[in-house]
């Protein structure tokens, strides 16, 4: 019993003293945490319009260069997997939000968007139109998924060589078309 009391008393005594209070004098600690900033003298001078323009030109020379997309080849900017990854992502999102809003508004407008009515509508469509709808809905999904893996590799710092990017784009397009055709055939 006595050993327990000694142990508890030692723990209480050790926990009572904070680390900073033991090792750093309070005045030095308070001096390091200053809330006021030193006063700085600010001066202004009148400059002519030409001198002001020259100062502006010199400032612009020090800015980072951000090239416009028009300086790149069109196949790099418009047909690259990064742009199409964004386009397919926006397409998927717009489709989902559009259908969700239509599903919510359908009872108010008098439409029937229940699963049974959609299934009976799809059953009445010709096979070619069903395949076209499946491909149109499936291709953005497959492309976005495959291109997402490419961007995960980019995040890992791999695949930045120009030839690798071009080859990967070709593989992504081919795999996306094959994947979308596979979805049409098997779903």
Number of domains composing the chain: 1
Residue 104 tokens, joined = 């919510």
**CATH number, domain containing residue 173:** 1.20.1300.10
Q: Which domain holds residue 108?
A: 69-186
Would 48 be classed as within a structural domain? no
Nearest-CA neighbor of 111 among 128, 99, 94? 99
Instruction: Give the model's pLDDT for residue 141.
Output: 96
Cα distances (angstroms) measured from residue 30 to each of 25, 26, 126, 150: 9, 6, 81, 52
How far apart CA 166 and CA 172 sit, in angstroms, is 10
Would 53 be classed as within a structural domain? no
CB 169 within 8 A of CB 81: yes
Would 20 be classed as within a structural domain? no
Would 99 be classed as within a structural domain? yes
Nearest-CA neighbor of 168 among 82, 95, 106, 109? 82
Instruction: Give the model's pLDDT for residue 90.
Output: 96
Would 177 be classed as within a structural domain? yes
Q: How do residues 70-103 score in pLDDT, each as one tens digit? A: 667 776 666 778 889 999 999 999 999 999 999 9
Q: What is the pTM of this model?
A: 0.59
Would 136 be classed as within a structural domain? yes
Residue 149 tokens, joined = 């893996």
Q: How do residues 120-146 score in pLDDT, each as one tens digit? A: 999 999 999 999 999 999 999 999 999
DSSP H stretches of helix in the chain: 2-16, 19-23, 26-32, 49-61, 74-77, 81-109, 115-123, 127-155, 162-186
Would 31 be classed as within a structural domain? no
Would 39 be classed as within a structural domain? no
């Amino acid at each position: 019993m006595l050993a327990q009391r000694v142990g508890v008393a030692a723990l209480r005594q050790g926990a009572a003293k904070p680390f900073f209070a033991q090792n750093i004098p309070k005045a030095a600690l308070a001096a390091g945490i200053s809330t006021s900033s030193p006063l700085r003298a600010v001066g202004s001078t009148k400059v002519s319009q030409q001198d002001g323009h020259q100062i502006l030109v010199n400032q612009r020379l020090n800015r980072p260069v951000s090239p416009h997309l028009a300086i790149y080849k069109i196949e790099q900017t418009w047909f690259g997997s990064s742009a199409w990854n964004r386009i397919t992502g926006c397409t998927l999102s717009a489709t989902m939000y559009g259908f969700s809003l239509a599903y919510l508004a359908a009872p108010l407008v008098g439409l029937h968007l229940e699963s049974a009515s959609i299934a009976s509508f799809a059953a009445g469509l010709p096979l070619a139109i069903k395949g076209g709808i499946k491909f149109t809905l499936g291709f953005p999904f497959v492309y976005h998924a495959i291109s997402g893996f490419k961007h995960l590799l980019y995040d890992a710092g791999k695949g930045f060589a120009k030839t690798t990017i071009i080859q990967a784009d070709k593989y992504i397009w081919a795999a996306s078309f094959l994947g979308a055709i596979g979805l049409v055939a098997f779903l």
